[in-house]
Structure 1
Amino acid sequence: MNEHWMPIYNLCQPCAVRYDFIGSYERLNADANYVLERVRSPPFVRFPARQPWYHPVTAETLHYYLCNTQRRLIKELLLKYILDFSLFAYPLPNITSEFCRQ
């Protein structure tokens, strides 16, 4: 498994390493600016802007993929990434049939 798909708890070993800061992709710009400020980087050092072609995942996109993927596969994925959800306080995706009828 390459590092792009590896669970974060395997990749970063949060139980073995004492991190000073843990950021999130959802707050990437704000977190990056916070770190740059904390390390007292020169003002000209900035985190790069997102590419113009980037479009974040929407609730509709997530709904589409969750509802069009076999539940067995989703359950297997949840088992693989359950510690990431737990350690980083992400809510588990709703894969109930009521959710997919919306």
Structure 2
Amino acid sequence: MTRRRLTIAVAVLVAAMASVGTVLAWMAGVSTAHYPEVSDGDTRIAGAYTITTHDGSWMALATLAAVITVVAVFIAAQAVWPRRPLRRWSDPVDSPGSSAP
């Protein structure tokens, strides 16, 4: 494993953790942020919206976090253990049907 591949893998995993953390922090913030009670005793929820356990938003955001994680792990695994060698931009690309000298 080269240093370049390890760097790619770590960068992808850190980016995934940051994005998943952002999704989870948003979920926690929306579900727990309350405005002070108003005169009629009603509690206002931030943005006039709250996430409840039966709301589909929980599942959508949890699914988004899971997809981000799976894609990041796949990209990191391909960087560390590629199915074929990585090409450099300067390497010639062989087209089908052409004969290389």
Q: TM-score range by the shorter chain?
A: under 0.3
Q: Which has the higher contact order (CA 8 A, sep 6+)?
A: 2
Q: Which has the higher helix share?
A: 2
The structure that has the greater radius of gyration is: 2
